[in-house]
Structure 1
């Protein structure tokens, strides 16, 4: 790449994500594709953007004392400091002097001499004085908040719900890299065959305990491999694979996936019914529903029909008791997937959790009549907030006495998940630190 171009790209992305609420994973993919970056440059750009976002509050704590007398910084200057300090503190392969030089040169291009002097001064102070310890912070919640870069309201909320030790585990795990996991399309390839094929191309794997179709990628770039590009395998987090595994699926069933995009769980359902049956999928946005259909085509699955609809109004489209199985993978705060989408923790407010819960309640109430008697409904979220999970299910069951948590749900869970932490009478909460996965909640209800 041209001189400074990679860091300038990182700076532009961080400013858009941090100030305008852009989605980190979407913008990064677009930038890597647009600039046709090599895998090495793409990896470095990803590392700088995600790493800076992951550690933003701790970095801010490092630079704050050197900026105390400054007027409000322009957003790009603030993000240039953040990404430079991240590289100095966390990227050993990039020397400090190179990071400082590039930051100063970028600030000269984008600003004036006063800004480049400020950038130079702050970064040289940090280079000279080293990392400022958080141990002097007397409030343990605030200390954990800054040390792990989670907003204080969020840390307080988790401590109230789960206690300090589990919260510490969540926060520190969210700073770690999430292992890549994939799911084989078993109608097209066996897991053993996929393992051998990937191995022949230098991609090392481990078997997932969450799904008979799951693999963990321990070495190599799966996204460039023919098995991924040609739809023999698809990327999906292990905890997310548990959803279709726990739907008690068999061929010829009529299945509704009420909130289906981007289609990972939808296509897994179709695979579990051997593509024999009907998977009716909806998403609120037409573009996203189209993504589900595209994924089905790539994986050569014909049982999926995805369309745009607000699932709160599906009673206008389908007769009551039309489906044997329903998946409601509800819109949620996403607080279980902060490792892959670190920007979420800064963009969300506590009120968002309560706003989303109203949508979750409405969706549960709306899709429940579409389930046949004796049918089963899985409710899942990628969050770890009790209000969106156990409390949502508790309220639904209190208002719908013809539904109950399916007792066989607990018996059918993989053995290592049974009777563990996170189990309640309303379902299973998976924390990210337990099995090195996304945080996730799921339960299975049966209609009596």
Structure 2
């Protein structure tokens, strides 16, 4: 594709995302490129990179464009982003060409607004703090509550592109063996410092085409997510429940920890997500997992009350910890969304806790950075359920720095992972 065609495609993709603000950007991008199979891999990466850069700077770019008296349309946002990335104005103006695979020429006011940005930097002292830090106004106080004086460092880390983390499936190979196999195919990975199963590539590469991925020796999974699975302490011959399993990333990790022995049940309210786990389970050689679709009026949970050694609740949440990968969530999530999520998390915890056997453990996890979704939610649960108490994870799969913690909060700035929270609670055993 020519630079003109790439720019036009970037504007079209951004417009599609703006037209569907409740739909995740990555899902929209997947559909966009599926409908345009003529777009090659290199062009897809270039277009996606530009669009994701726009989303990482959405509030600041919008502020600058509005200073110029215009609305922040996709064509203006893309143009401003390219200027701040040091594209000369003459080159940019030439890219806005007429034609079938072009975005159309800049009109007078557009040209004037973009020209005024030449020589400027994306950050400006006149910006409100929430704009400069790329967070919604309503969310800034909650993040200040979480991070205090470290807020700017943490939000800067959340604005950088995430590395590509892999989890080695030790049912099929060692970490060293997989690292060597990937290296033969040109993928140079380093061992993660916290997860004993992790490998990290510093940039996103087409790993799904590699032999180790195809034969189930590795899965794509952030190091923080691997540590959440490790917090469960799942082991051979246990009965384990992944209550909000989705497509089964943590299910796979726990089955691996259990050495394919015992029994794992992966539950979710979404049939497509559960169906998506089938191929992954087969590829990984996992055969101790049963899937169950949760539905209204389902008696399944009632019949299995008090029967699981471990219950993992990876709860639906605001996703603030995943902003490196999903920068669109910065502007999609509303205060009403958060309030609804808090109610849903509490209800899920209450329901899932009944499935834990006496002496068993409930592990609550989110990919959120917010106190309301994390420690507050745990403390409120414990107040409602005095038969549960916080206990240290004490899993051999955890690094020494986390092994004796009952609650962990991982962040990109401090740990190099996505933002994750996990708490381990044990149900009291009956008195002898």
Query: TM-score with structure 1 length normalisation?
Result: 0.88
Q: 1:332 is paired with a residue of what secondary structure?
A: coil
Q: In the alignment, does 2:92 pair up with 1:99?
A: yes
Identify the residue that residue 31 of structure 1 maps to in structure 2. 32
Aligned residues: 425
Q: 2:313 is paired with a residue of what secondary structure?
A: strand
1:157-172 matches, within 5 Å, as 157-163=142-148, 165-172=149-156
1:17-96 matches, within 5 Å, as 17-21=17-21, 22-36=23-37, 37-67=39-69, 73=71, 78-90=73-85, 92=86, 94-96=87-89
Check 1:185–1:408 CA distance in 2 against 1; reply closer, same or farther (3 A cut): closer
Deviation of 1:444 after TM superposition, in Å, equals 0.8
- C-alpha distance in 2 between matches for 1:218 and 1:131: 26
1:375-398 residue CA offsets vs partner (Å, 9 max, x unmatched): 111110000111111011101111
1:89-131 residue CA offsets vs partner (Å, 9 max, x unmatched): 12x4x544332322354799667x8x6333222222222x533
1:128-184 residue CA offsets vs partner (Å, 9 max, x unmatched): x533752135xxxx23x2223222222222113432x22212211121111110001
Asked whether the 8 Å contact 1:179–1:436 carries over to 2, the reply is: no
253, 274, 286: which one aligns with 1:268: 253
1:276-355 matches, within 5 Å, as 276-310=261-295, 316=301, 318-355=303-340
Asked whether the 8 Å contact 1:210–1:241 carries over to 2, the reply is: no
Asked whether the 8 Å contact 2:4–2:102 carries over to 1, the reply is: no
Check 1:415–1:311 CA distance in 2 against 1; reply closer, same or farther (3 A cut): farther
- Which ranges of structure 2 fall in alignment gaps of 5 or more residues? none
Deviation of 1:32 after TM superposition, in Å, equals 3.6
Deviation of 1:259 after TM superposition, in Å, equals 0.5
Deviation of 1:11 after TM superposition, in Å, equals 1.4
- C-alpha distance in 2 between matches for 1:210 and 1:307: 32
1:109-120 matches, within 5 Å, as 116-120=107-111
Asked whether the 8 Å contact 2:232–2:393 carries over to 1, the reply is: no
CA root-mean-square deviation = 2.6
Deviation of 1:368 after TM superposition, in Å, equals 0.9
Deviation of 1:217 after TM superposition, in Å, equals 1.2
Check 1:168–1:327 CA distance in 2 against 1; reply closer, same or farther (3 A cut): same
106, 109, 126: which one aligns with 1:136: 126
- Which ranges of structure 1 fall in alignment gaps of 5 or more residues? none
> Which runs of at least 4 in structure 1 moved beyond 4 Å after TM superposition?
106-111, 310-317, 408-413
Higher-helix-fraction structure: 1
